[in-house]
Amino acid sequence: MAGPRANWKGYIKFGEVSCPVALYTAASSSERIAFNTLNRKTGNRVKREFIDSETGDPVEREDQVKGYEVENGQYVVLEPEEVAAAVPDSDKTLKIDAFIPCSQIDTTYFDKPYYLAPDKMGTDAFLLLRDGMKQEKVAGIARTVLFRRLRTVLIRPHGKGLIASTLNFDYEVRSSDTAFEEMPDLKIEGEMLELAEHIIGTKKGSFDASTFDDRYEAAVAELVKAKIEGRTLPKKKAPVASKPSELLQALRESAGLGAQEMKPKRTAANANRTGGRPKAAKPAAKSKPETAPTRRAS
């Protein structure tokens, strides 16, 4: 059986050390369920056609050209050979510009992952780079022309080889300020925080991608099967957001406490986390004569 076909071949270089490498697709959507667009009346497939927005006439492929809008309805036409000439020349080299601690990597910038393996000769230099990065817990930042675009690539040790993730440019990543601008400035503490910590603690695990099912694919497959068999699937109830007044009770039920109240831990560490001070322990009342049992002051 033939091995996978490389998407790109070139060299990886760090310092004066270089070795030939091959880039392979690490993630693919080819196995996803795909739909065809049909004519509802005839059941026949429809085909896509480009139409002139003003005349309404079909435009053949040889008459289609790229255009950049400079004003409303005004375009600069770019011929295919002009676009090709503007693409930077590729030297087929992934030159590592810097090594950064893995703890500093912001995954928001991740685009697509590719496996990076040694190509024919140069395995020793490849393994040297892989094991060196593992030892130092760092990733490499490199740039090269991939698929007709200059791209920044993050290179990390992965299994027996390396994984190269293309990165989005800064202008492509939207600021989180807009997404979180309406976030209320609330401080959660006391029993609610302790219950949340308890629930999180009981749900701790490790990442295993094989345990995550594509529920959309499974649901669509079941829908298709039901349609073929003439069945209808029951409607699923949508989750209801917990109201602020019901949040504490929902936390207690999640922690298996029901209506029982979980007393907050008033330790020094807990008090420091919540910004308060630990309460001093109440002194025990003086013991009464031995004829009566010892009692604590209420």
Which stretches within 60-184 are classed as H helix?
80-86, 123-136, 176-179
The values of phi and psi at residue 174, to 5°, are: -75, 150
d(CA 129, CA 123) in angstroms, rounded, equals 10
Assess if residue 69 is contained within a domain: no
What's the pLDDT score for residue 10? 92
Nearest CA-CA partner of 118 in 10, 5, 2: 10
What's the pLDDT score for residue 83? 82
Q: Which two tokens stand for residue 75?
A: 């375009």
d(CA 100, CA 160) in angstroms, rounded, equals 21
Q: Taking CA 240 as the corner, what is the angle to CA 235 and CA 241, rounded to the nearest 5 degrees?
A: 155
What range defines the domain where residue 151 resides?
8-26+90-172
What's the pLDDT score for residue 267? 44
What's the pLDDT score for residue 224? 84
What's the pLDDT score for residue 271? 43
Assess if residue 215 is contained within a domain: no
d(CA 144, CA 142) in angstroms, rounded, equals 7
Q: Mean pLDDT in runs of 10 for the chain (298 residues)?
A: 78 91 88 88 93 93 91 88 80 92 90 91 90 94 88 93 94 87 81 82 76 76 84 79 76 70 47 44 45 40
Q: What is the C-alpha R_g of the chain?
A: 31
What's the pLDDT score for residue 9? 92
What's the pLDDT score for residue 3? 64
Strands (E), the chain: 8-14, 17-25, 66-71, 74-78, 93-101, 110-118, 138-146, 149-158, 161-167
What's the pLDDT score for residue 149? 86
Assess if residue 66 is contained within a domain: no
Pairing of strands 74-78, 66-71: antiparallel
Assess if residue 267 is contained within a domain: no
Assign residue 160 the CATH number of its domain. Answer: 2.40.290.10
Q: How many domains does the chain have?
A: 1
Assess if residue 194 is contained within a domain: no
The values of phi and psi at residue 115, to 5°, are: -80, 140
**CA distance between the termini of the chain:** 80
The values of phi and psi at residue 173, to 5°, are: -100, 120
